[in-house]
Structure 1
Amino acid sequence: MSNSPTKAYLDEPLREDCPSPHFNEVLAVRMSRRQLMKGSMAAATATLFGTTLTACVSDSDNDTPAVETPAAPGFSEPKLGFQAVAVTRADTTTVPAGYTATPFLPLGTPICGTYPEYKPDGTNTGAEQEQQMGMCHDGMHFFPIGGSSTHGLLVMNHEYIVQPVLHANGATTVGGIRTVPDEVRKEIAAHGVAVVEIRSTAHGQWEIVRGAYNRRITGATPMAIRGPVRGHEKVRTKYSPDGTRTRGTLNNCAHGYTPWNTYLTCEENWAGYFVNKTGRPREHSRYGVATSSGRYRWETVAGDEYERFDVSVKAASASEDYRNEVNGFGWVVEIDPFDPDSTPIKRTALGRFAHEGCVYAPVVEGRPVVFYMGDDSQNEYIYKFVTRANYSAATANGSMLDDGTLYVARFDADGSGRWLALDFNNADFLAACLAKGVSFSDQGDVLLNTRLAAATVDATPMDRPEWGAVHPHTGEVYFTLTNNSSRTVADAANPRAPNPYGHIVRWRETGNDAAALSFEWDIFVLSGTLTDSGKLGDATQPLGEDAIHASPDGLWIDPNGILWIQTDMSGSQQGSGPFGENQMLAAEPATGEIRRFYVGPREQEVTGVITTPDGKTMFVNNQHPGDRSTPGNFTSNWPDRPQPYTTVDPSGPRPRCATVIITRNDGGVIGL
């Protein structure tokens, strides 16, 4: 994520080394050799009559044979049943006719402890923030209680903070030093994860249940380190001399969940929170740890809790300082939402990078569980993790995430792809390391330096891999590639140099086996304008007014097979041009039909979406509305100013990140 001007510094630094063929070069050759995967799901209905679903249709004798798989029994293609909404820059939420959108759980909403009320002037304390909804709502999941669609746990990420909105008068800094420690405590508390028990009281009306499940996990919460990095010398600190624990989770962007009903929060742009003034080892420099000051200068406040953000060498050994503190970040963190006393666990076997999300393929009894992940930075990679243990519904638990193989994707020009193992015990990986003159001490070292390992095996650098989604019926995998300002080559398939609009790639694993080591890939959509876009990747079929968008980011396929696409456009794209504010669109995977379903308020990012099991209530997050605000000069008043209003009041209510509850007025299923 991180496209607006005030968020730009949150992005991971650009790669300085990029020896592998760039994705736009691969795609240009690919698009010239074979047609796109139009209709890859078009045979789904026919499958019900005994035929098969073709994933990739070959048009060349030299192409890899098509992969075929049956669709799930009873599955039929979704058809969008709403009229698209228009582009808008209104400071409100816009949904189709027949739908209602209601704000819910904004920043500062009390959810646990003593339930301290939100103070509209921004004067809540750090202790109070630890008991309230955090800032910059992002990925989320609804865990039904007893299978209910009216009662469950809503668990969501809080990615980062907008200081001028969070505090009464912004952050207090004198000469580069943070002078109010409680402001820093509040900022750390505004990060992380919220677990909230909620229930429906009426159609479209939900309330917080003040129960035992409610919980805040923050940038200071104690956490366990598991997997190959547990106990490694490079995660030993003054706080945990044996390298088994750390504190906090930061920059929680997209998410995932597991077949055993736990939540996965993913640490994205974590490196900028730290500073190293004494020379950076590769596990710092390759991820962009700063050399002058941390993003929010937390390290300038006295006390062990804050000094840990300075990862300079300050003592004789790692157990006496925090040189390794940053190595405790960059992981997928597992949280059990149904056990409020449980310790969150950093699952290091899944690799260390700017995690955008972690989604699993449909599980098969007796087969491994497979998770897909993207590294959200220009010219980084797409990964998958395959558990060593096979899935059993009766016994599966989080320990499955500690033992398995991490792979990185290579997208080849002929439309085929390969998964390359990042495994210290794999002969091909060791040979690649030897050829490149790269060495690792053990698997823990490989995982701490996942980006370097991926580059060593010549994986394909991608255009900011963000959210992924796996089709629950066909097994197709979709990934958003948000944009890439470093793209320089224009061609018929990618007529943009650079690429400000992004696109969505999809693939099918060989044999429809998620654990396979090869796949067939193609492009689902080239995002962009009326004259610079492509339906099903075909630039000769540009998107219409109802579908134009830029910078696809959030992604989810609902149980009915509708693909939901959320955007994270830059401030310049929002402020001018054809796209309006950030939005959410719905797509039919089979036909490529796309319609705009939702537009959020001013200067926000639409990110995170889930429905209740019956599909009749949808939760959507709106992150950083009015993020170009300054104290007393707010650029959005959403959601606290009563609607409707035509202009923003700079001195009106300060904007707050919030969830939106969307329902159909007739009580029907969302989108159909």
Structure 2
Amino acid sequence: MSLIENRRPLPMADHVRGKRSAVTCQFKCANACVGPECNTSNNEHFRDIASAALSRRAVLGLGAAAAITLAVSSLRDVPVSAPAAAGQGAAALPGASFARGGSSGLPFTPIAPVDASVDAFTVPDGYAWRPVIRWGDPLFSSAPVFDIDAQTPEAQAAQFGYNCDYLDIIAEPNRRRGVLVCNHEYVNPTIMFPPSTDPAELRRRGDIYKAAQGMSVVELERRRAGEPWGYRVDGRRNRRITVETVFELTGPAAGSPLLKTAADAEGRWVRGTLGNCAGGTTPWGTVLSGEENFNGYFAWNASTPEQRRYQANATTSTSTGWETYDPRFNANDPGYVNEPNRFGWIVEIDPDDPRSTPVKHTAMGRFKHEGANVILAPDKRVVAYMGDDERNDYLYKYVSRNRMTASRRKNRQLLSDGDLYVARFRGDSPAGEIDGSGTLPADGAFDGTGEWIPLTRNGQSAVPGMSIDQVLVYTRLAADRVGATKMDRPEDVEPNPKTGKVYVALTNNSQRGGPTAPVDEANPLTGNRFGHVIELTETGGQAGTTFGWSILLVCGDPATFAPAYFAGFPRDQVSPISCPDNLAFDSAGDLWISTDGAPSTIGRNDGLFKVPLEGAERGRVQQFLAVPRDAETCGPVIRDEEGMVFVAVQHPGENGTFEAPTSLFPDYGSTAAGDVADAPRPSVVQVMRA
């Protein structure tokens, strides 16, 4: 099907109940939430155990942000005194004021929620913002300055990619040099290009889409610590990883017949990475990336139980059109029926070595990985927490067999050999008190205990009737068999580096309470539109197999949603929050939450929120920033010791078109060199104290 044919009316009903716009669902996850249920298993349930469009050619002065000048040829082109947008429209939330906790260096007055029709990047009074790098900014001097009307595959492969998601800023000890690592999850064809039905043009665009996805590694530099970063064109470590980059498979499933194709008889080498969502940075300095919604890139029959567990619908075409000219994306071809099995892994890259071969770790299981976040157990084994981002799927943990050492080379092997677990939750309240209304049970909390059920042990299957490669390639089916607890879309899962407690963002689940997923104490809301956050405490040590848990937040607007809960903090003193997605921590150990879905659920732009976890402020949700119209807040990085916060702004203006955009972020009418003033550009933004 051609790209223009893919612009059919989009299904809306479930999106209204859920978190995303129909555009996001089409291009990001191939309408997974409006299709049949992937998880139809009858595994043990918890309760049984106990504004108007803007003309593309009109340059509008919106007053929402000042013009920004970015480097397009050298760092010298980015004076640190360049103007930045500061706090316009950042009215204080009534009745709320920031109470500084621990050693946090980011005092702020929470902003008021921003209406979903507003196309502005909003920060608190006393703060300013500016992009670090935008879609299309060149990483190499061989690449042209970005021109939205003259895109080519070759240019895009040397420019910053589209739809940035996971983000980290890894500073060197002097804090004047560093590297930015960022995922590029997917593309929005309808705002990247005007409509076309020409087959040759659509194929050319398909190659641009391949180059626009994957990951970017970009060197950063600044004059002194605490000042804004600029990026370096031709930096030694600059690199683009795309849908054509070669990856090596590692771990027990590498070489399995389930991973072999006509192009790779060994089953050990994969071209490309897809759907790169969140991630994590390891203690040895590599970066992990989660391959999430990979299924939507393939035409496939979905005729077997194994296929249907990852792609409920048979598909004959995709939004990229790759299957029309690249046989590996036609999984209906017998030679490439296993190609989808080669995606859905945790990827590891070395940002310090642009010539290194990135890897995909089969030992960590295959599912729709939001990301993976690592913490060291007391015995120095590596523990990685992972969520499978689909309704009614599971929470996982990986524990390495070996221990971290001083050898970076040896540490690169830690994620290739270890045990994989899936979580089962138990509640401590009578089943009759968990009725789907969100009313707290008699003991005053949704809480209980849980266990980590092994899927693999010492490189062997721990699931009866499944081989090790079946467990790792069809991890969802293995988890079904052992009776894991179905969760409300587990996205980011982050261990707190201060306390070791683990926080799970459950973004929402409009199908909770249905026949395949009744409510339970860990997922207590029927038709959970706004999501919740679970706090998990390992009781057997970080590498142990038991845990305690409680719900920290039940999200929603407390003014209109009675079940909203904020760890017992007064409801009239918090910022409304909906659809938690990515998590981060500041130096004091406070939690920061970025959201994805507030416009379609509470009518507000998505944002970044701070939540203290201890003392009298525990549960006090405070909104720090809001992203522009139609955008999602991704990849928060908190450097409060420097008074700085970084976020990736994904899919701004996604509900517009090429000719009639709904956002002009981040250039907002600027005509400086390299700016595209009348089109939205996904960007990495730094926020600093003004």
Which category describes the TM-score, using the shorter chain as reference length? 0.7 to 0.9
Q: Which residue of 2 aligns with 1:378?
A: 391
1:338 maps to 2:352: yes
Offset of residue 267 of structure 1:
0.3
| RMSD over equivalenced CA pairs, Å | 2.7
Q: Which residue of 1 aligns with 2:625?
A: 598
Give the Cα separation in 1 of the matches to 2:522 and 2:543: 30
1:464 maps to 2:489: yes
- Find 1:205's aligned residue among 228, 238, 255: 228
CA gap of 1:357–1:615, structure 2 versus 1, over 3 A, is: farther
Offset of residue 327 of structure 1:
1.0
Q: Which residue of 1 aligns with 2:333?
A: 313
Offset of residue 266 of structure 1:
0.7
Give the Cα separation in 1 of the matches to 2:332 and 2:527: 37
The residue identity in structure 2 corresponding to 1:616 is G
Q: Which residue of 1 aligns with 2:308?
A: 285
Question: Which segments of 5 or more consecutive residues in structure 2 lack a partner in the other structure?
Answer: 1-17, 51-100, 429-447, 671-675
The residue identity in structure 2 corresponding to 1:143 is I
Offset of residue 282 of structure 1:
3.7
The residue identity in structure 2 corresponding to 1:602 is R
Kept after mapping to 1: 8 A contact 2:584/2:638: no
Offset of residue 288 of structure 1:
0.4
- What is the percentage of aligned positions where both structures have the same residue? 35
Give the Cα separation in 2 of the matches to 1:493 and 1:312: 39
- Find 2:110's aligned residue among 84, 89, 101: 84
Q: Which residue of 2 aligns with 1:166?
A: 192
Offset of residue 325 of structure 1:
1.2
SS at match of 2:168: strand
SS at match of 1:7: helix
1:218-617 map, 5 Å: 218-277=242-301, 280-288=303-311, 291-302=314-325, 306-314=326-334, 321-364=335-378, 366-394=379-407, 396-414=410-428, 415-423=448-456, 429-430=462-463, 433=464, 439-440=465-466, 442-488=467-513, 496-511=525-540, 513-530=541-558, 531-538=561-568, 543-544=571-572, 546-569=574-597, 571-573=599-601, 577=602, 579-590=603-614, 591-612=618-639, 614-617=641-644
Give the Cα separation in 2 of the matches to 1:281 and 1:570: 36
Give the Cα separation in 1 of the matches to 2:299 and 2:397: 30
Deviations for 1:51-101, whole angstroms, at most 9, x for unmatched residues? xxxxxxxxxxxxxxxxxxxxxxxx947597311001113211111111111
Kept after mapping to 2: 8 A contact 1:143/1:153: yes
- Find 1:628's aligned residue among 649, 652, 655: 655
The residue identity in structure 2 corresponding to 1:308 is R
Deviations for 1:94-122, whole angstroms, at most 9, x for unmatched residues? 1111111112211111113613210043x
Q: Which residue of 1 aligns with 2:125?
A: 97
Kept after mapping to 2: 8 A contact 1:179/1:301: no
The residue identity in structure 2 corresponding to 1:267 is E
Kept after mapping to 2: 8 A contact 1:21/1:461: no
CA gap of 1:232–1:458, structure 2 versus 1, over 3 A, is: same
Give the Cα separation in 1 of the matches to 2:598 and 2:646: 23
Give the Cα separation in 2 of the matches to 1:427 and 1:359: 24
CA gap of 1:85–1:385, structure 2 versus 1, over 3 A, is: same
Q: Which residue of 1 aligns with 2:687?
A: 662
Deviations for 1:102-149, whole angstroms, at most 9, x for unmatched residues? 12211111113613210043x31011110111111101111222x233
Deviates further, 179-188 or 203-212: 203-212
Kept after mapping to 1: 8 A contact 2:374/2:383: yes
The residue identity in structure 1 corresponding to 2:647 is V
SS at match of 2:551: strand
> TM-score, length-normalised on structure 2?
0.79
Q: Which residue of 2 aligns with 1:48?
A: none
Deviations for 1:362-392, whole angstroms, at most 9, x for unmatched residues? 454x431100000000000000000001222
Deviates further, 267-276 or 493-502: 493-502
Deviations for 1:223-265, whole angstroms, at most 9, x for unmatched residues? 1111111111111112211111010001100011211110111
Deviations for 1:466-517, whole angstroms, at most 9, x for unmatched residues? 0011111111000100000112268999784311010000111114x11010
Give the Cα separation in 2 of the matches to 1:495 and 1:327: 33
Q: Which residue of 2 aligns with 1:653?
A: 678
SS at match of 1:308: helix
Kept after mapping to 1: 8 A contact 2:575/2:621: yes
Residue-pair matches, total: 580
SS at match of 1:276: coil
Kept after mapping to 1: 8 A contact 2:19/2:508: no
Deviates further, 249-258 or 527-536: 527-536
SS at match of 2:503: strand
Kept after mapping to 1: 8 A contact 2:667/2:677: no
Q: Which residue of 1 aligns with 2:24?
A: 7
The residue identity in structure 2 corresponding to 1:383 is Y
Deviations for 1:416-436, whole angstroms, at most 9, x for unmatched residues? 110000027799944xx4xxx
Offset of residue 292 of structure 1:
2.8
- Find 2:215's aligned residue among 193, 201, 204: 193
Give the Cα separation in 1 of the matches to 2:460 and 2:151: 56
Give the Cα separation in 2 of the matches to 1:337 and 1:140: 12
CA gap of 1:457–1:491, structure 2 versus 1, over 3 A, is: closer
Q: Which residue of 1 aligns with 2:53?
A: none
Give the Cα separation in 2 of the matches to 1:16 and 1:138: 26
SS at match of 2:571: coil
CA gap of 1:79–1:526, structure 2 versus 1, over 3 A, is: farther
Q: Which residue of 2 aligns with 1:184?
A: 206
Deviations for 1:299-354, whole angstroms, at most 9, x for unmatched residues? 3443xxx221001134xxxxxx2221111100000000000000110011000000
Offset of residue 549 of structure 1:
1.0
Give the Cα separation in 1 of the matches to 2:548 and 2:389: 22
Q: Which residue of 1 aligns with 2:81?
A: none
Kept after mapping to 1: 8 A contact 2:627/2:649: yes
SS at match of 1:105: strand
SS at match of 1:15: coil
SS at match of 2:289: strand
The residue identity in structure 2 corresponding to 1:638 is F
Kept after mapping to 2: 8 A contact 1:534/1:542: no
Give the Cα separation in 2 of the matches to 1:260 and 1:267: 21
CA gap of 1:173–1:226, structure 2 versus 1, over 3 A, is: farther
1:70-149 map, 5 Å: 76=102, 81-89=107-115, 90-112=118-140, 114-121=142-149, 123-145=150-172, 147-149=173-175
SS at match of 1:340: coil
SS at match of 2:129: strand
Offset of residue 280 of structure 1:
3.3
SS at match of 2:413: helix
Give the Cα separation in 1 of the matches to 2:295 and 2:535: 29
Kept after mapping to 1: 8 A contact 2:609/2:621: yes
> TM-score, length-normalised on structure 1?
0.81
CA gap of 1:629–1:652, structure 2 versus 1, over 3 A, is: farther
The residue identity in structure 1 corresponding to 2:425 is F
Give the Cα separation in 1 of the matches to 2:239 and 2:571: 43
CA gap of 1:495–1:403, structure 2 versus 1, over 3 A, is: closer
Kept after mapping to 2: 8 A contact 1:565/1:584: yes
Give the Cα separation in 2 of the matches to 1:360 and 1:479: 14
SS at match of 2:624: strand
Give the Cα separation in 2 of the matches to 1:214 and 1:504: 36
Give the Cα separation in 2 of the matches to 1:601 and 1:92: 5
Offset of residue 204 of structure 1:
4.5
SS at match of 1:6: helix
SS at match of 1:529: coil
